[in-house]
Amino acid sequence: MRIGIVCPYSFDVPGGVQFHVRDLAEHFIAQGHDVSVIAPADVDETELPAYLTSCGKAVPVRYNGSVARLTFGPVTNARVGRWLEEGDFDVLHIHEPMTPSASVIALWAATVPVVATYHTANVRSRAMHVAHPLLRPSMEKIRARIAVSEEARRTVRRHLRADSYVIPNGVDVKRFSTADRRPEWTGTPDSPTIAFLGRIDEPRKGLHVLLRALPGLIEQWPDLRVLVAGPGDSDAVDAALLGPVDSTVTFLGMVSEEDKAALLASVDLYVAPHTGGESFGIVLVEAMAAGAPVVASDLPAFVSVLGDAPAGQTFANEDHEALAAALQGLIAEPRNRRELSDRGRVRAGSFDWDLVAAKVMAVYETVIESVEGEPEDAGLSFRGRLRRLVTRGGDD
């Protein structure tokens, strides 16, 4: 199958959508499909994978409580058009089709079956609300919609008056579950280690919540270490918060995928104190796959990822005292950490790319089939066939 995938965000800057697109493309390529991805990227600064076509350099734009790196204009328009023409795709998979970047341009120009994936969970998305009437004619090209979570699905329903099929983000579970532990990141009973991953200068990632939770923990474990990995300037961290705990916190900066897996496999706890704007929580799955016990704010998306068991411990969003109590209890009880780790590994298996990609492929096959002619099971509606295939993961 010839598959075209559109990513609206800069491919040379880390992000959940970019990682999702990358892993999905590489999974299908490994299966023998012909896959091409187009996204903003700086070809002069970054070594790009062979399957990626750059549609231009990106510029930073504030979007959905964060800073997105997008591209638009005549050059982007021409490159996307040429990519579509030369690709001759069987299906076009557009991520965040309403984001004003390559995604919108590809949707305008598409002449093949379109599948759209929505990653955003924001019930007050002004951009989506305003853009929908302008894009309505192009939106009719979308044959099937995917949401990465129930939260993202609700956002689509609210703003687009449309339904979607929930297919979560995928994770290479084996890569995380087999990661080596690093002595420099491994804790001891007297010197436990906690990991935080995310943009350190982006408030909604919640580093400030974690910093406020630390003083009481340090009184009990003076040699506690907090390892902070991710982009951003550590000088931007509130000095009033960091000052009392400065010797406890180590900023690792950007880490490679290999180092990220090793970090999660090594620490005693992984903390996700995010305060909002999350539609899924891919790093929670990565942490669980690596065996790190997870402590996360009780955002609906995080609660959904952790499951009914649950496979991690939650605390009241933005409540640093509740976070401190959760961390204190788990640090003091290794048995409880082991139980969370075991449940997390099992839960992570349900997000493995083998399962997730099979469901995405089922969507591709069904929308192509609906265009080419009436399928054998004509008694089922298109929606009914798609629901059945996604539920079964394409095993028909």
- Residues in a beta bridge with 217: none
**pLDDT at residue 377, as a whole number:** 47
Tell me which long-range contacts 361-365 makes (C-beta under 8 A, separation of at least 24).
361/28, 361/394, 362/386, 362/389, 362/390, 362/392, 362/393, 362/394, 363/115, 363/144, 363/146, 363/165, 363/167, 363/389, 363/390, 364/1, 364/3, 364/90, 364/91, 364/93, 364/115, 365/389, 365/394
Q: CB–CB of 105/94 below 8 Å?
A: no
- Per CATH, 2-170+353-392 and 173-350 having the same topology is answered yes
Domain 173-350 grouped into CATH 1.10.3720.10: no
Q: Report whether 323 contacts 196 (CB < 8 A).
A: no
Question: Domain ranges in the chain?
Answer: 2-170+353-392, 173-350
Fold for 2-170+353-392, please state it: Rossmann fold (3.40.50)
Q: Could you tell me if 140 and 161 are in contact, meaning their C-beta atoms sit under 8 angstroms apart? A: no
3-state secondary structure of 140: coil
Sign of the C-alpha dihedral, residues 357, 362, 367, 372?
positive
Exposure class string for 280-292: b at 16+ Cβ within 10 A, else e: bbbbbbbbbbbbb
Can you give the pLDDT at residue 387? 56
Sort strands 52-54 and 59-63 into parallel, antiparallel or unpaired.
unpaired
Per-residue pLDDT of the chain (396 residues; tens, 9 = 90+): 999 999 999 988 878 899 999 999 999 999 999 999 999 998 776 788 999 999 988 887 765 556 677 888 899 999 999 999 999 999 999 999 988 889 999 999 999 999 999 998 765 555 555 555 556 677 889 999 999 999 899 888 888 888 899 999 999 999 999 999 999 999 999 999 999 999 898 899 999 999 999 999 999 999 999 999 998 888 888 888 888 899 999 999 999 999 999 999 999 999 999 998 888 999 999 999 999 999 999 999 999 999 998 999 999 999 999 999 999 999 999 999 999 999 999 999 999 999 999 999 999 999 999 887 544 444 444 455 455 555 554 444
Which residue has 């099937």 as its token pair? 144
SS3 106: helix
The pLDDT of residue 396 is 40
